[in-house]
Amino acid sequence: MRKIYTLLLAFLISTGGTGAPVYAQVSADHKSQIAQLDYLLAVDRLDFYSDGLADYLMEHEQKLAAEAIRKIEPEDYAKEQFAGKDLNNPDKWNELILSVLHKKFPEFKNLTLQDIQWNYNFFRKKLMEGFKADPISLKKEASVSSLNNEPVQFNKRTIPKVDGKTILLDAERYISEKTTRALFWDAALSHKAIEFHLGTERDFRQRISQEEREVIAEVKTRAANYNKIYLVFNPHTKEYSYAFTRISGNDRVTHLMAQLGILKYQGQTALKNDSVRVYGNPNKVHRAQEERLSELFKTLPKADMVVIGQKSAIGNVIAMAGMMSQIQPDVGTAVGENKTQIQKLSQRVAETGSYFSVTSKASIVKTEFEKIPSPTAQNYEIFNSEQPSHDVSDVLLETKDGKIVRWRFISNMWGDEVVPVARAIKNSGHDKVVYIGTAGGIIGKGLKVGDVVAPSKTYTQDGRLLELEKPTYATDFVKTGMTLGQVTSPFDETQKWLKKWNNSIDLVELETGYLKDNLGSKVSFQPYLLISDVVGSEHESLAVAAADSGKRKNGQLKLLESLFINNGIKAPVSNFEMISAEPVVKAMYHKIDSLRASRDVTSKLQLTQLAIRKGLKTDAELEALIKAEPSFDRQMLMDKLEKFSGALEIIAKKVSGRSFAITGGDELLNGTWNPKKVLKLQMMVGNMSATEAKAAYAQELAKIESVMGKELQIEVLSYDAEKTREAVFFGSRSKKVLADHYEKNILKKLGLTKEIDKNGGVRFREVTESAGGMRCEAVLM
């Protein structure tokens, strides 16, 4: 890291920080920490903006001024002690930069604001959305009890040796955009620890709750990626730390750790005790994700096509095609050059037989569509699921010959995060996959930003060379016959790396090798890569090109148009009839829904099962049941199940290798338990008698009773082989046994799957056309 002057700390303490809003609920110490971070974030943002300004001036006959601005260091801005209100005012940025330019390079004293004028207000506005620390206060997770308040295990990892000067991109500019340099500067200044959390946002919050730590701020970055970053405080040790969350693979950890090796402060990395803390195991995260996705993909109808990558862009194209299908201009009212733009597009549709043939004209279509008085639905997803590292959605499409096909779209991922996805696709019998990713072209190979490449070969991360299929889409403009290299991070791309691979590869990225290797030979797999930067080029580097994705847009849209048209796709389907199973369950659910529409779907499902089991039929009988059963929501249900699972865990952890079985508690086992009522469980311990088990676990049972009170009642029974036939078993390594039982048995029978959204919340998502499921996705959303 470029040196930040140590006087910054004294300045922040003396001035009270950045001029950021005052939050009454934040303690004085926390305010001071957030103010220091906010100031550094503002400096980071100004320096990032100055690079963009220099790019602009280079292209507008101000080369010398641009080169001088690039030589201004962040510490040059920091030591000026600019007022926070000016640093956070985009209209002041050029003025601040000019003042430092005059001071550092007197030869530019005659340069004026007019000379460096850059009216890119959209860019400045987007920068203001990031580079800030928002104070927040996350509540303790209700799923964590005092039974489990103990230190969470983590691994210490030393950072890799990385020489930032040898990396083939402007690493500091890249880091500034993706994660900010400011938090690393602050960590170096104040000796804060850095920690990386694998798993979901809920996993992170449960760890924090278990250790009774507090989240006091969220660092908002320029890039809206899925790794949330928090400033965390431990009230017991008074330690502050930075936590990176929502990490789903080891490649991401390695990439983030490399930033610590690149950014230094006075020759030292921003590390406490020369290591980072890594919570969770990437292999376990991958196994859990593979299991969850395999089950999901097997339960859903098989997709005719799976497309990985560019999910947001594809969604826009599908919506555009849906809008175009509802626009019916009279083509005969004008001929030749007198035709309107929409009439010309309509003629193009008639010629191709596909509404996807006008993908690059979305603005024209949208303008015309808005004139329609009563349009049909614009959302064409029939199923969607939010996974820890990506999103999945299914869309029904109509072909030119009237056939309805199902396509599954999966968003982009980072490196080895694609491994469990590829394995789940293979496990579930899917055999047609298209991948649309981004890659860096190697300098001197004739590639430029915006090109589309279908490589003929790819290396894997361990150096094996694999053959790839010939492309069948966009063959009129896609570049072929090239070899793709693999890295785990753009920080791997150094001068030494380029010298080694320059004669072997033409472009480079992170995911294709993993996908090809794990999908196997029986799955048709075609990768298409949009060139996002040219490795080794100053003017088309990743850091520069990332600020302007427009160069890739044309190639992207032409590729998507070919993907749909060459598969004979005419239009997305909006008016479709959902297939329903278990009519008795469906009928009862909707009857209860008509009586209590406001109840959470989980509560209505519990009532549905109770009503069917009790043989209730009339509205009066159902009303009596509804009044007798308190309303609850899914969050309460899962919190209770996870908390009670933690209670069982303290028993199981005492003796390794012993088998435990829950043999009673019919309401839990059949899914009719109401979390506002006591949960009564019957449990057996190995083949012990009740007397032996009670004596062996007296201390643990007493502790559970003192903490849980009457919420959880455990009756220990003597071993009975007959009763274990339908038992729920667990052992010393089991986690969340009750929650897992509910998810894998009760929810599955109802046609639902549990997911953790990107904010750590619990959702139950309907699996369309699954056995036992009812068509209530609107409720589940």
CA–centroid distance for 706 within its chain:
39
Pairing of strands 679-685, 712-717: parallel
Residue 262 included in any domain? yes
Residue 332 included in any domain? no
| Cβ-based neighbour number of residue 176 at 10 Å | 26
**What pLDDT is recorded for position 133?**
95
Structure confidence at residue 772 as a pLDDT band (50, 70, 90): very low
Distance in angstroms (rounded) separating the CA atoms of residues 605 and 593: 10
Residue 605 included in any domain? no
What is the total count of domains within the chain? 4
> Between these two residues, 778 and 346, which has the higher pLDDT value?
346
513/405 same-domain check? yes
Domain span holding position 736: 634-749
**What pLDDT is recorded for position 677?**
93
Residue where a domain stops, chosen among 131, 152, 177: 131
Distance in angstroms (rounded) separating the CA atoms of residues 464 and 706: 58
Structure confidence at residue 290 as a pLDDT band (50, 70, 90): very high
446/559 same-domain check? yes
Contacts of 519 (CB under 8 A, 6+ apart): 422, 425, 426, 433, 525
Distance in angstroms (rounded) separating the CA atoms of residues 720 and 621: 38
**What pLDDT is recorded for position 22?**
42
CATH number where 666 lies: 3.30.460
Q: Does an H or E element contain 311, and which?
A: helix 311-325
Q: Which residues pair with 308 in a beta bridge?
A: 410, 435
244/351 same-domain check? no
For the four alpha carbons of 718, 721, 723 and 727, in that order, the dihedral sign comes to positive
Alpha helices in 466-600 (DSSP H): 495-501, 512-519, 542-545, 550-566, 583-595
Residue 473 included in any domain? yes
Residue 557 included in any domain? yes
| Contact between 487 and 508 (Cβ < 8 Å) | yes
16/126 same-domain check? yes
534/411 same-domain check? yes
**54, 131, 38: which is closest to 97 by C-alpha?**
54
16/93 same-domain check? yes
- Which parts of 142-285 are beta strand (E)? 155-157, 193-198, 214-220, 229-234, 239-247, 264-265, 268-269, 276-279
**617, 583, 454, 603: which is closest to 526 by C-alpha?**
454
Q: Which residue has the tokens 């691994």?
A: 155
pLDDT digits (tens, 9 = 90+) for 88-137: 999 999 999 999 999 999 999 999 999 999 988 889 999 999 999 999 98
Q: Which residue has the tokens 């380029």?
A: 498
| Contact between 51 and 44 (Cβ < 8 Å) | no
Distance in angstroms (rounded) separating the CA atoms of residues 574 and 147: 50
Mean pLDDT for all residues in the chain? 87
Mean pLDDT of 575-598: 74
Residue where a domain stops, chosen among 95, 116, 131: 131
440/312 same-domain check? yes
Distance in angstroms (rounded) separating the CA atoms of residues 641 and 737: 8
Reported for 471-476, long-range contacts at CB under 8 A and 24+ positions apart, including other chains, are: 471/526, 471/528, 472/526, 472/566, 473/434, 473/526, 473/528, 473/559, 473/562, 473/563, 473/566, 474/528, 474/558, 474/559, 474/562, 474/563, 475/562
| Contact between 498 and 442 (Cβ < 8 Å) | yes
| Contact between 452 and 474 (Cβ < 8 Å) | yes
Residue where a domain stops, chosen among 572, 602, 620: 572
Kindly report the length of the chain: 781
**What pLDDT is recorded for position 372?**
80
Give the pair of three-digit tokens for residue 778.
Answer: 């609107």
Mean pLDDT of 339-364: 89
**Is the model's pLDDT at 716 over the cut of 90?**
yes
Residue 404 included in any domain? yes
**What pLDDT is recorded for position 644?**
93
Mean pLDDT of 515-540: 91
**What pLDDT is recorded for position 495?**
92
pLDDT digits (tens, 9 = 90+) for 385-422: 888 889 999 999 999 999 999 999 999 999 999 999 99
**Is the model's pLDDT at 771 over the cut of 60?**
no
**What pLDDT is recorded for position 12?**
44
**What pLDDT is recorded for position 335?**
53
- Lowest mean pLDDT segment, chosen from 100-114, 254-268, 555-569, 595-609: 254-268
Structure confidence at residue 546 as a pLDDT band (50, 70, 90): low
Structure confidence at residue 267 as a pLDDT band (50, 70, 90): low
143/182 same-domain check? yes
**Is the model's pLDDT at 581 over the cut of 50?**
no
Mean pLDDT of 731-744: 85
Q: Does an H or E element contain 149, and which?
A: none
**Is the model's pLDDT at 775 over the cut of 80?**
no
> Between these two residues, 223 and 35, which has the higher pLDDT value?
35
226/300 same-domain check? no
254/226 same-domain check? yes
Distance in angstroms (rounded) separating the CA atoms of residues 241 and 233: 7
Structure confidence at residue 774 as a pLDDT band (50, 70, 90): very low
Q: What percent of the chain has pLDDT over 90?
A: 61
Buried b (16+ CB within 10 A) or exposed e, 26-44: beeebbebbbbbbbbbbbb
216/302 same-domain check? no
Distance in angstroms (rounded) separating the CA atoms of residues 577 and 494: 55
CATH number where 321 lies: 3.40.50.1580
Q: Which residues pair with 275 in a beta bridge?
A: 272
**Is the model's pLDDT at 703 over the cut of 90?**
yes
Mean pLDDT of 19-44: 80
556/424 same-domain check? yes
**Is the model's pLDDT at 6 over the cut of 50?**
no
pLDDT digits (tens, 9 = 90+) for 57-75: 998 889 999 999 999 999 9
In DSSP notation, 315-382 reads: HHHHHHHHHHHT----GGG--GGGS-HHHHHHHHHHHHT-GGGGGGGHHHHHHHHTT-SS---S--EE
> Between these two residues, 26 and 228, which has the higher pLDDT value?
228
Structure confidence at residue 781 as a pLDDT band (50, 70, 90): very low
**211, 233, 48, 224: which is closest to 136 by C-alpha?**
233
Residue 609 included in any domain? no
| Cβ-based neighbour number of residue 359 at 10 Å | 27
Structure confidence at residue 11 as a pLDDT band (50, 70, 90): very low
Structure confidence at residue 776 as a pLDDT band (50, 70, 90): very low
Structure confidence at residue 382 as a pLDDT band (50, 70, 90): confident
Mean pLDDT of 169-180: 91
The pTM of the full predicted model, rounded to 2 decimals, is: 0.86
pLDDT digits (tens, 9 = 90+) for 582-593: 677 778 888 999
Residue 777 included in any domain? no
**What pLDDT is recorded for position 184?**
92
What single letter denotes the amino acid at residue 468? L
Q: What percent of the chain has pLDDT over 70?
A: 89
